[in-house]
Structure 1
Amino acid sequence: MSKTISIFLLSFTLLTVLSCNKKEDDKPVGTLQLSSIKVGSSSLNLTGSSTDIAIDSDFILSFSAALDANAANQSITLSKGTMIVPITGFLSEDGKQFTLTPSNAMEFNSEYVINIAESLKGANGESFPGIQVHFTTEMSNLELVSIKINNKDFENPLHPKDVQFDDLKIEITFSDALESENISQHFSLFPNPGIQVTLSEDKKTVTVTNTGDLDYYRKHSFQISSSLQSTHEANYTGYSNYFITGLDPSNKFPLISDEALLDLVQLQTFKYFWDFAHPSSGMTRERNTSGDVVTVGGSGFGIMAIPIGIERGFITRQQGISHLDKVTDFLSTADRFHGVWPHWLNGNTGQVYPFSTNDNGGDLVETSFMAAGLMTVRQYLDPTQSEELLLINRINTLLSEIEWDWYTRGGQDVLYWHWSPNLGWVMNMQVRGYNEALITYFMAATSTTFPIEASVYHKGWANNGAIANGRSFYGIPLPVGYDYGGPLFFSHYSFLGLNPTGLEDQYANYWTQNVNHSLINREHCVLNPRGHLGYSADCWGLTASDEPTGYGVHEPTRDNGTITPSAALSSIPYTPEESMDAMRHFYFILGDKLWGEYGFKDAFNPDISWWASSYLVIDQGPIIIMIENHRTGLCWDLFMSAPEVQAGMNKLGFSR
Structure 2
Amino acid sequence: MKSINIYILSALLLLSISSCGNSKKAGQKESASPADTLTTDALLDTVQRRTFRYFWDGAEPNSGLAPERIHMDGIYPAGGPDVVTSGGSGFGIMAILAGIDRGYISRDEGRTRMEKIVSFLERADRFKGASPHWWYGATGKVKPFGKKDNGGDLVETAFLMQGLLAVHQYYVNGSNQEKVLAARIDKLWREVDWNWYRRGDQNVLYWHWSPEYGWDMDFPVHGYNECLIMYILAAASPTHGVPATVYHDGWAQNGAIVSPHKVEGIELHLRYQGTEAGPLFWAQYSFLGLDPVGLKDEYCPSYFNEMRNLTLVNRAYCIRNPKHYKGFGPDCWGLTASYSVNGYAAHAPNEREDAGVISPTAALSSIVYTPEYSLQVMRHLYNMGDKLFGPYGFYDAFSETDDWYPQRYLAIDQGPIAVMIENYRSGLLWKLFMSHPDVQAGLKKLGFK
1:281 equivalent in structure 2: 63
Name which one, 1 or 2, has greater alpha-carbon Rg: 1
In 2, Cα distance between equivalents of 1:654 and 1:254: 42
Counterpart code for 1:504 = K
1:272 equivalent in structure 2: 54
In 2, Cα distance between equivalents of 1:331 and 1:426: 26
1:380 equivalent in structure 2: 170
1:409 equivalent in structure 2: 199
User: Secondary structure at the residue paired with 2:433?
Assistant: helix
1:252 CA drift (Å): 5.6
Counterpart code for 1:332 = E
1:510 CA drift (Å): 0.5
User: Secondary structure at the residue paired with 2:326?
Assistant: coil
Counterpart code for 2:433 = F
Structure-2 change in CA distance of 1:253 and 1:304 (3 Å): closer
Paired residue for 1:553, among 342, 346, 368?
346
In 2, Cα distance between equivalents of 1:382 and 1:259: 30
In 1, Cα distance between equivalents of 2:83 and 2:52: 19
The within-5 A match list for 1:422-571 is 422-482=212-272, 483-508=275-300, 509-557=302-350, 558-571=353-366
Structure-2 change in CA distance of 1:280 and 1:577 (3 Å): same
Structure 2 length-normalised TM: 0.89
In 1, Cα distance between equivalents of 2:331 and 2:82: 37
In 1, Cα distance between equivalents of 2:341 and 2:265: 31
1:250 CA drift (Å): 8.0
Counterpart code for 1:587 = Y
1:578 aligns with 2:373: yes
In 2, Cα distance between equivalents of 1:640 and 1:328: 21
1:593 CA drift (Å): 1.6
In 1, Cα distance between equivalents of 2:287 and 2:414: 15
In 2, Cα distance between equivalents of 1:386 and 1:253: 43
The within-5 A match list for 1:332-371 is 332-371=122-161
Counterpart code for 2:206 = Y
2:38 equivalent in structure 1: 256
1:254 CA drift (Å): 6.3
Counterpart code for 1:585 = H
In 1, Cα distance between equivalents of 2:112 and 2:259: 46
Counterpart code for 2:303 = Y
Contact 2:366–2:374, Cα closer than 8 Å, also in 1: yes
- 1:512-554 Cα deviation digits (max 9, x unpaired): 1111000000000111111111100110000000011111110
1:644 equivalent in structure 2: 438
Contact 1:524–1:556, Cα closer than 8 Å, also in 2: yes
Contact 1:435–1:481, Cα closer than 8 Å, also in 2: no
1:384 CA drift (Å): 4.3
1:386 CA drift (Å): 1.3
2:27 equivalent in structure 1: none
Contact 1:484–1:520, Cα closer than 8 Å, also in 2: no
- 1:579-600 Cα deviation digits (max 9, x unpaired): 0101011102x22421111110
In 1, Cα distance between equivalents of 2:424 and 2:32: 28
User: Secondary structure at the residue paired with 2:260?
Assistant: coil
Provide the identity percentage: 53
Q: Identify, as 1 or 2, the structure richer in strand.
A: 1
Structure-2 change in CA distance of 1:253 and 1:505 (3 Å): closer
The within-5 A match list for 1:125-274 is 251=33, 255-274=37-56
In 2, Cα distance between equivalents of 1:252 and 1:469: 44
In 2, Cα distance between equivalents of 1:252 and 1:580: 14
- 1:70-115 Cα deviation digits (max 9, x unpaired): xxxxxxxxxxxxxxxxxxxxxxxxxxxxxxxxxxxxxxxxxxxxxx
Counterpart code for 2:185 = I
Counterpart code for 2:369 = Y
1:469 CA drift (Å): 2.3
2:100 equivalent in structure 1: 310
In 1, Cα distance between equivalents of 2:374 and 2:385: 16
In 2, Cα distance between equivalents of 1:567 and 1:544: 9
In 1, Cα distance between equivalents of 2:222 and 2:60: 33
Say how many residue pairs are matched: 407
Contact 1:287–1:617, Cα closer than 8 Å, also in 2: yes
1:18 equivalent in structure 2: none
In 2, Cα distance between equivalents of 1:255 and 1:285: 33
1:618 aligns with 2:403: no
In 1, Cα distance between equivalents of 2:313 and 2:421: 20
Contact 1:252–1:592, Cα closer than 8 Å, also in 2: no
Counterpart code for 2:293 = T
1:323 aligns with 2:113: yes
1:485 CA drift (Å): 2.0
Counterpart code for 1:329 = S
1:602 equivalent in structure 2: 396
1:393 aligns with 2:183: yes
In 2, Cα distance between equivalents of 1:365 and 1:469: 24
Contact 1:541–1:568, Cα closer than 8 Å, also in 2: yes
In 2, Cα distance between equivalents of 1:307 and 1:356: 32
Contact 2:125–2:132, Cα closer than 8 Å, also in 1: yes
- 1:288-307 Cα deviation digits (max 9, x unpaired): 14231100001111111121
In 2, Cα distance between equivalents of 1:643 and 1:478: 31
1:631 equivalent in structure 2: 425
1:474 CA drift (Å): 1.5
Contact 1:484–1:521, Cα closer than 8 Å, also in 2: no
Output the aligned Cα RMSD. 1.4
- 1:198-245 Cα deviation digits (max 9, x unpaired): xxxxxxxxxxxxxxxxxxxxxxxxxxxxxxxxxxxxxxxxxxxxxxxx
In 1, Cα distance between equivalents of 2:220 and 2:406: 33
- 1:363-399 Cα deviation digits (max 9, x unpaired): 0000000111010011011434111111011001000
Counterpart code for 1:583 = M
In 1, Cα distance between equivalents of 2:243 and 2:271: 23
User: Secondary structure at the residue paired with 1:610?
Assistant: coil
1:648 CA drift (Å): 0.6
1:251 CA drift (Å): 2.9
The within-5 A match list for 1:56-135 is none
In 1, Cα distance between equivalents of 2:315 and 2:258: 21
Contact 2:206–2:218, Cα closer than 8 Å, also in 1: yes
1:23 equivalent in structure 2: none
User: Secondary structure at the residue paired with 1:263?
Assistant: helix
Structure 1 length-normalised TM: 0.61
Contact 1:547–1:612, Cα closer than 8 Å, also in 2: no
Contact 1:484–1:517, Cα closer than 8 Å, also in 2: no
Contact 1:340–1:364, Cα closer than 8 Å, also in 2: yes
Counterpart code for 1:518 = T
- 1:555-596 Cα deviation digits (max 9, x unpaired): 0121010000100000001001000101011102x2242111
Counterpart code for 2:105 = I
In 2, Cα distance between equivalents of 1:517 and 1:284: 28
User: Secondary structure at the residue paired with 2:258?
Assistant: coil
